[in-house]
Chain A
Amino acid sequence: MVTAVKITLPKLTPSTKPFANAVKIVLAAHVAGAKLNQTAGDSVELVLADKSLTDANLAVKIILDLVSFDASNTSLLQSAALEQEEAVITPLIFKKKTTEALQIAEQAVVKYSKVFSKDGKLGIVDVIYYGALYDVLQANAEKEKYSALTAWFERVSKAEAVEKAIEVVKGQISNKAAKK
């Protein structure tokens, strides 16, 4: 894992893709135990030596040193779960098809249970799903319908890395959005 993470963050509005991306990247930095070097910018970016990345999932992979795919069972399950989030769940959330997104996320937590946290220790799948679903699950009133997902979310929310990351991201919420 990297020891220092340099990112740019703009002012953020909840329930937007930049907000979800910021949760993912900042949480990854805290899970890695890396020093977070944060500056103001126009978009959520991971700043590398030779370029900046706006792809949050790839940024998380870099921060957690999990870019390589080794065809192991864990690598395969992680990749399948992450592809499900990127290809299906997040697009549904931003099309406001929240119920469908939560149903598929519930199925993913069950199907790929081996790569979701059971003890509060977070991995790459937890980081990316938490960022993608944070806003939706915070507001979700039908917790019993998504029991596995809710149990996972409540467990992960108690992690110190999550508390610190959410504090950082909430600090970026624009005053205009906060007044809503």
Chain B
Amino acid sequence: GAVTIAKYFAAKNQPELLGSSKTEQVEVEEWLSWVIALKALEKKQVVATLKKLDAHLSTRTFVALNRLTIADLLIFANVHKFSKEIKVTTMPNVLRWFDLIQNVAVKNNNIKDFDLIEINLKDVPEPVF
């Protein structure tokens, strides 16, 4: 499956993306299960699930740990096709996170498989710490 393949590439090239300690790896693994569950959902259910992710991201920059992990990359890859549903009025934190990941992972690495989504961050709140 896609999650196993992504874990394999991460382990070979940037193992820190999987978490550096056991505690970190547990946190990342929790989100990988979340990704697998997300993939099985229909569009309406995905939108409802993304609203829960929005609440989670209200106090965080990345989904797990305090840095980029494979969880961010896989969630981004799986929600990219639903990007039109991510609106500043209903999911501002997901939108901010989405823009961060598309810049860090897609734009900076010049990846052509994902269209860059134009996002106006003017109304998006900063994460609360």
Residues of A within 8 A of B (CB): 53, 55, 57-58, 61-62, 67-71, 76, 79-80, 83-84, 86-87, 91
Contact of A83 among B3, B12, B26, B30 (CB under 8 A): B3
Q: Which residue of A lies closest to B10 (CB)?
A: A69
A87 near B29 with CB under 8 A, answer no
- Chain A contacts for B11, CB-based, 8 A: 69-71
What is the bound-complex CA distance between A86 and B25, given in angstroms?
18
A79 near B22 with CB under 8 A, answer no
Q: Which residue of B lies closest to A72 (CB)?
A: B11
B25 near A68 with CB under 8 A, answer yes
B30-46 contacts to A (CB < 8 Å): 30, 33, 36, 39-40
B: contact size bracket: 10 to 19
Chain A interface SS verdict (over half): helix
A86 near B29 with CB under 8 A, answer no
Residues of B within 8 A of A (CB): 1, 3-4, 7-8, 11-12, 18, 22, 25-26, 29-30, 33, 36, 39-40
What is the bound-complex CA distance between A3 and B26, given in angstroms?
18
Q: In whole Å, how far is A6's beta carbon from the nearest beta carbon of chain B?
A: 16
B40 near A91 with CB under 8 A, answer yes
What is the bound-complex CA distance between A76 and B29, given in angstroms?
15
A80 near B33 with CB under 8 A, answer no
What is the bound-complex CA distance between A61 and B22, given in angstroms?
11
A58 near B29 with CB under 8 A, answer yes
Contacts beyond the supplied A67-B25, A76-B8: 18 A-B pairs with Cβ under 8 Å: A55-B30, A55-B33, A58-B30, A62-B26, A67-B26, A67-B29, A69-B8, A70-B11, A71-B7, A76-B4, A79-B4, A79-B7, A79-B8, A80-B4, A83-B1, A86-B33, A87-B36, A87-B39
B12 near A71 with CB under 8 A, answer yes
- Chain A contacts for B33, CB-based, 8 A: 55, 57-58, 86
With A68-B22, A69-B7, A69-B18 in contact, is A80–B29 under 8 Å at CB? no
Candidate in B1, B12, B18, B39 with the most chain A CB atoms within 10 angstroms: B1
- Chain A contacts for B4, CB-based, 8 A: 76, 79-80, 83
